[in-house]
Structure 1
Amino acid sequence: MSSVKHFQVTFDCAEPERVARFWCEVLGYVVPPPPEGFATWDDFDRSLPPADKGAWFACVDPSGVGPRLFFQRVPEGKVAKNRLHLDVRVGTGLVGEERLAVLEAECARLLPLGAERVRLLQADDENESCMVMRDIEGNEFCLD
């Protein structure tokens, strides 16, 4: 039997630090300390060749349980629906109006951060309600 592997989730984006800081707010993640020998991430960034400045950023779960999120600059913009998305689990175990109230409250918290509400998917015979949203660069995610 093989062991569980650690993994990170990588986002292609135009502004890595901006998107990373958005997800820090959404998930309660933090920016890890800068590499050894640098007092700040800005100091580290200034040490890089011009083409590499601002090319990537990361955030981590402060408890060490969740995956590291890595954000890398790419030249092309987003043009199609994500093939993979994050489900932000805010309504686990809740149903009906109680679940809808939690989804709406979290949506209201994220809108001022730059998130966009796409649509509410109402509960049916197989699934509970969830809310489709977009992050600050248009990547879809769900409040679930």
Structure 2
Amino acid sequence: MAREVQITFDCADPAALSAFWAEALGYRLMDPPEGFTSWEQALEAMGVPPERRNDASAVVDPEGAGPRLFFQRVPEGKQAKNRVHLDVRAAPGLTGESRMAALEAEAVRLAAHGATRVRRFEPHPPLGAGHLVMTDPEGNEFCLD
């Protein structure tokens, strides 16, 4: 039986990191519970104190195809290289220099939202198509592929 997948990020600022990944992936903030027009209103009604209202956030694919991304506040910072990372497919169907140009353009766009470019891997046909390694605003590695 197939399972639904959620990807969870430990982080310091769930609201900011979820906003970054929504921008990176074309996702949107998950809607508040039914009957509420905002998360602030829902959390107030649930009795969540103001200092705990940024403990978690989630973004979803507006078309329902991709996994939900969940961001939870943790007290410790990132300690080492990720063992699992996301590959953002920013140049599907492109090859060679047009592919790398599309990846470079996406890297510039995401840098404007807090990402950092780490390294470029050149294409090595027939197997390697080339990619860029980036980090999100909290230092989590991801690839533009």
Fold-level similarity (TM above 0.5): yes
Residue of structure 1 in register with 2:114 after alignment: 114
**Superposition TM-score, scaled by structure 2 size:** 0.92
Q: How does 1:5-84 map to 2 (within 5 A)?
A: 5-46=3-44, 47-49=47-49, 52-84=52-84
1:44 is displaced (CA, Å) by 2.4
Q: Aligned equivalents of 1:50 and 1:21: distance in 2? A: 19
State the match for 1:130 in structure 2: 131
Q: Distance in 2 between matches of 1:113 and 1:50?
A: 26
Which structure 1 residue ranges, 4+ long, deviate > 3 Å from structure 2?
49-52
Deviation at 1:50, TM superposition (A): 5.5
Q: For structure 1, list consecutive stretches of 5 or more residues without a partner in the other structure.
A: none
Moved more, 38-47 or 75-84: 38-47
Give the superposed CA RMSD. Answer: 1.3
Cα deviation, residue 51, structure 1: 6.2
Establish whether residue 86 from structure 1 lines up as the match of residue 86 from structure 2: yes
Provide Cα deviations, 1:87-140, integer angstroms capped at 9, x if missing partner: 000112211111111001101111110000001011124311000000010000
- Per the alignment, in what secondary structure is the counterpart of residue 36 of structure 2? coil
CA distance in 2, matches of 1:107, 1:89: 12
Mean Cα deviation higher: 89-98 or 74-83: 89-98
Distance in 2, matches of 1:108 and 1:31, equals: 23
State the distance in 2 between where 1:50 and 1:24 align: 23
Task: Point out where structure 2 has 5 or more consecutive residues left out of the alignment.
Answer: none
State the TM-score, normalizing by the size of structure 1: 0.93
How far is the alpha carbon of 1:72 from its aligned partner?
0.3
Q: How many residues align?
A: 142
Q: Secondary structure of the residue that 1:87 maps to in structure 2?
A: strand
- 1:139 paired with 2:116, answer no
